[in-house]
């Protein structure tokens, strides 16, 4: 089906696949499989120190287990995802508008969304509301 189909760790890595790993901080780090060469699987991802860059899946995962979020429906869809992802290489990371999940979501489906950020903001606002309520004595 795909010209590139290595198997690593029991998973099949199709170009354009959206993957994630759980960091020790409890936050998911997201990326897009761009392909493979020289026995390596390559991932395009957005991180604080690098911005959008292409690294090996091992460097991306930092010894964590990799999960597949979504797989493209066809080779053409996978190639379109990779083209979008590659067009952002070198751009900067921004927690609120261009984090790793925004990047992977945008590359995969054209919409930059981050459910983690939305949940974090909601939790932060709910905590502030609870603190305010407790301080008011109500």
CATH code of 85's domain = 3.90.1720.10
Which pLDDT band, with edges at 50, 70 and 90, does 4 fall under? very low
Rounded-to-integer distance, Cα 130 and Cα 95, Å? 25
Residue 109: is it exposed, middle or buried by C-beta count within 10 angstroms (0-12/13-18/19+)?
A: middle
Give residue-wise pLDDT tens across range 63-110.
999 999 999 999 999 999 999 999 999 999 998 889 999 999 999 999
Q: Which residues pair with 33 in a beta bridge?
A: 43
Query: What range does the domain containing 44 cover?
Result: 7-113
- 41 assigned to some structural domain: yes
- 103 assigned to some structural domain: yes
Kindly give, in sequence order, each residue whose CB lies less than 8 Å from that of residue 90, ignoring residues fewer than 6 positions away: 51, 52, 53
- 1 assigned to some structural domain: no
Residue 124, pLDDT above cutoff 90: no
- 76 assigned to some structural domain: yes
């Amino acid at each position: 089906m795909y010209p590139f189909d290595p198997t690593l760790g029991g998973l099949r890595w199709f170009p354009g696949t959206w993957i994630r790993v759980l960091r020790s901080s409890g936050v998911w780090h997201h990326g897009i499989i761009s392909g493979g060469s020289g026995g390596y699987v390559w991932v395009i991802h957005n991180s604080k120190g690098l911005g959008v860059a292409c690294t090996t899946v091992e460097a991306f995962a930092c010894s964590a287990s990799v999960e597949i979020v979504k797989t493209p429906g066809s080779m053409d869809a996978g190639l379109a995802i990779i083209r979008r992802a590659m067009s952002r290489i070198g751009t900067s990371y921004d927690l609120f508008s261009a984090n790793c999940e925004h990047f992977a979501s945008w590359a995969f489906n054209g919409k930059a969304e981050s459910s983690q950020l939305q949940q974090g903001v909601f939790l932060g606002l709910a905590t502030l509301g609870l603190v305010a309520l407790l301080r008011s004595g109500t």
